[in-house]
Every structure is written in structure tokens, then in C-alpha cells.
Amino acid sequence: MVQSRSRVTAFLEAAPAPVFVFYAVVASFGTYFCMYAFRKPFAAATFEGETFLGSALDLKSAIVISQILGYAISKFIGIKVCSEISARHRVIALLVLIGWAIGALVLYGLVPGDWKVAAIFFNGLPLGMVWGLVVLYLEGRRSSELLLAGLSSSFIVSSGVVKDVGRALMSGLAADWWRDVPLLGSAIAGALGRVSEGWMPAVTALHFLPIFLLCVGLLSRIPAPSPADVEARVRRTPMDAQRRSQFVESFLFGIILLAVAYFFLTAYRDFRDNYAVEIFDGLGYAYAGNESVITRAETIVAFGVMVLLALLNAIRSNRLGLLAALFVMAVGTSLLALSTLLLDAGLIDGFWWMTLVGLGSYLAYVPYGSVLFDRLIASTGAIGTAVFAIYLADAIGYTGSVGMMLFKDLVVGDVSRLDFFKAFTWLMAIVGTLCLVSSGFYFLRRSRPEPSGLH
């Protein structure tokens, strides 16, 4: 899969910008959308009344925490792997990582309850590196905001879709869907029936595997940034240990501010994501009659995030682009408080509250994995890749996610997940807004001068 010899790559190099953007968004969106089918469907199961090894920790919480531990370790590994990997090894890495994840999901289906905690750890261990490998195809381009906004919408939508697919498999609705498919549909429907909570993640993943393979093939044909891209956004080069250390030392205080916000933000976003079923139930949206409630909420969130972040592409100045990204993020954390006030005042219902806090949290969360660090490197002239900074933040963020879930079950286990989430919303709004606004002032002073034509 040598990019320079591909006819598709040659076509994309000469294609108009809208054609290239459309192709790259479809390829990256599809790849990461399908990755979530290997990561998140288990969250559709509730394991009602089951505990881990007879302790005070719910079995579902233990499974969630175990996968996030594997995912967090993957992020630490990705700091080195994703910042050093060469272009020709990316596709092989993606295929190996997904193959590993599928094997772990099959093991998850085979082993009894408590052992699923170990199996899901090995599922999370490879998947944390997929994001960085996909971003490497998109960063450092004049259209990066558009590309990364399209990519980022994938995990917002897919998280809801794969959980709804998982619930459909367990309820038998998926088997009914298959009966209407010509040729093998009836046979597949008969084999599916009602899928158990243990086997549901693997079955869900297999539904998405063919699309994943197709999209990785498309992704591998994306050409490297053009000379005009390099001039506008700085050349992106692999980072060895020395360059990584220099980057952290150069922007230490700003990185600390962003890391503190991300520590809580990742925990908040993960709690909402992993316990969406329970939170919606607590708000009065039981599964019967609300089969697609999660997908509907996340589709609205994804559209809002994608539009707002894509608008950042209109800002040519990298300095202003960085500040605009931080402003949008601070607006997102402020929206958490505003939407909760509206809920408590009875002005919105539970569905719109979950949608608005989802929009606010993702407006703050998504730029960390996309436009924030791409603009930071371009505005400061730092040598390296945005992927390194993304993975540094992710490693810290997912550590916070594990800690918050342990705190919920072991320290305040008598508090419902809905009440805990509402209290967490206020904490996230205050801490996140303060840190993001402060980091904006810090990086405003660290940005390099730009040609007058970019202002």
C-alpha cells in the first residue's frame, strides 16, 4: 500500500479541495465509526444486580473501568508509537490492533462474569492507538479543521449507534431486521435470535468489520500534505524522546492547564457515555418505546459539534484559530451549567438536557483530539506532530476517568448514577471553564508573529 504509486492517491493530489475533503472525511469517519463497534457495544448491557468478586463494585463498573485501564495504557504506549510510526506502517498497525480487539471480544463472550473484566482489559489495550493513527492522515493541512471535525463526529454518533445495535441484538430486534435481507438474511436471523449480554459485543463488532476494512483501504490512499499545506501549517515530523521532552518543557504551564481540564472532562464524557442507558432510564426514558433515544441525542450533538468546529477552518490565522478553538471549548463547558439550570427550572426535559450537556462536553472534548493541538503547533512553530500532544493529554484524561468511576462506586455508591452525573456536571463546568480561559491567555503570549496577510 505505497501511497505514491496509487492511482487514487494521484487523483486526490490533483483533485479540487472539496473532492479531497469529502474523500478524506468519508474514509476517516468510516474507519473510526467502525472502531467504536469494537470498543463500546458492551456498555449497552447492564449486568443488573451483579457485582465483581462479591465486592461493593458493580460488575458493569468493573468491566467499564477495566476497559478504560487498557485504553489508558494504550494511550501511554501511543505517546511513543503514534508519534514515531512511519506512514508505510500505519495500515498494518490498524489491522493488527483491530484483530487483537476482536480476539479479546470473542474471549469476553467465552468466559464467565468476573473473568469478563480481564477480557475487556485486553480489548481496550490496542484500541487507544487507533485515533492517533487516523489523525496522522489528516493533520497539518489547510483543511485540517474540516477533516478533523468530520472525523470527530464519528465517535459521537457511533457510540450511540453501537449501543442501540447492541440493545437490538439482545432484544431480538436485530434478528427481525435480518429476516428482511435477501439470500442469507433468514439464516443469519435464525442464528442470532436473542444475543446474550456476553456475546453481544463480539456479534456487534462483526457486523461492522467489513466496513472497517473498506474504510482503512480508502484511508491508506490519502496523499501526504502538499507544499502549500506545509507552508500554512508547519511540516509534521516524527518525534523522538528528545523532541517530546522539549515540547513539554516549552509549554509546561499551558499543558498543565489543559491537562487539568481534560482530566475531568474525559472522566465526565466517559461517565455519560458508559452509563447513558442508566442515566436515560433515570430520566424516564426506559428502553420500551425509546429504542433509538441514545442515537437521536448523539446525532444532534454530532451535527452541532461538526458545524461549529468546521467553521474554524475559515480562520486563516493560526493564532486566532487557536484562540477561537479555546473559546468554543469554554463555551462548551459553560453550556453544561446553563443546561442544568434549565432542567432544574423545568424549562427543558431530560432528553434535551442529555443532548445539551452532550453538546457542551463534546465541544470542549473533541478539540483536544483534533483542532486544538494542530493549531497550537502551527501557531507556535513547534517541531513535531499534533498526535504526540493528543496522546499526552489522553493518557492523563483516561487516568482521571478510571479514578472517577472508582470514586463513584466505592466512595459514594449509594448515590444514583443520575444524581452523581448532575453533581459532576457542575464541577466540570466550573473547573473546565477556568482552566480553558486561563490557557487561552497563556498561549496568546506564546504564539509566534504571523505574516500580515493571515490576520
> One-letter amino acid identity for 95?
L
- Domain assignment present for residue 227? The answer is no
**For position 2, what pLDDT does the model report?**
41
Grid coordinates in use for 350? 431530560
Of 92-101, 185-194, 358-367, where does the model show the most confidence?
Answer: 92-101
In this structure, are residues 405 and 266 in contact, taking their beta carbons and an 8 Å threshold? no
User: Mind listing the pLDDT tens digit for each residue in 376-419?
Assistant: 877 777 666 667 777 888 888 888 888 887 888 788 888 888 99
**For position 222, what pLDDT does the model report?**
92
For 447, half-sphere exposure in the C-beta direction (CA atoms, 13 angstrom radius) is 21
The rounded percent of the chain whose pLDDT value lies above 90 is 34
For 23, half-sphere exposure in the C-beta direction (CA atoms, 13 angstrom radius) is 19
In this structure, are residues 129 and 82 in contact, taking their beta carbons and an 8 Å threshold? yes
Q: Categorize the per-residue pLDDT at 209 as very low, low, confident or very high, splitting at 50, 70 and 90.
A: very high
> Which CATH number goes with the domain that contains 185?
1.20.1250.20
The yes-or-no verdict on residue 233 having pLDDT over 70 is: no
Mean pLDDT of the chain: 84
Q: Categorize the per-residue pLDDT at 444 as very low, low, confident or very high, splitting at 50, 70 and 90.
A: confident
Q: Residue with C-alpha cell 433468514? A: 186
- Domain assignment present for residue 230? The answer is no
Rounded alpha-carbon distances, angstroms, from residue 62 to 114, 120, 127, 346: 9, 10, 18, 35
- Spatial separation of the C-alpha atoms in residues 303 and 153, rounded to whole Å: 7
User: Of 247, 310, 258, whose CA–CA distance to 435 is shortest?
Assistant: 258
Average pLDDT over residues 93-108: 95
Q: Higher-confidence residue: 305 or 369?
A: 305
Range with the poorest average pLDDT among 105-109, 123-127, 148-152, 258-262: 148-152
- Spatial separation of the C-alpha atoms in residues 129 and 98, rounded to whole Å: 10
Average pLDDT over residues 64-89: 87
The yes-or-no verdict on residue 333 having pLDDT over 90 is: yes
- Spatial separation of the C-alpha atoms in residues 433 and 96, rounded to whole Å: 39
- Domain assignment present for residue 115? The answer is yes
Range with the poorest average pLDDT among 90-104, 105-119, 199-213, 441-455: 441-455
**For position 143, what pLDDT does the model report?**
80
**For position 315, what pLDDT does the model report?**
82
In this structure, are residues 33 and 157 in contact, taking their beta carbons and an 8 Å threshold? yes
**For position 1, what pLDDT does the model report?**
38
The yes-or-no verdict on residue 16 having pLDDT over 80 is: yes
If one counts the domains in the chain, the total is 1
User: Mind listing the pLDDT tens digit for each residue in 304-317?
Assistant: 888 887 787 778 78
DSSP bridge partners of 51: 58
The rounded percent of the chain whose pLDDT value lies above 70 is 88
Residue 188, domain extent = 3-219+237-448
Average pLDDT over residues 138-162: 80
- Domain assignment present for residue 228? The answer is no
Burial 271-289 (b: 16+ CB within 10 A, else e): bbbbbbbbbbbbbebebee
The yes-or-no verdict on residue 220 having pLDDT over 90 is: yes
The yes-or-no verdict on residue 448 having pLDDT over 90 is: no
In this structure, are residues 382 and 244 in contact, taking their beta carbons and an 8 Å threshold? no
- Domain assignment present for residue 325? The answer is yes
H or E element, residue 430: helix 417-446
The yes-or-no verdict on residue 449 having pLDDT over 70 is: no
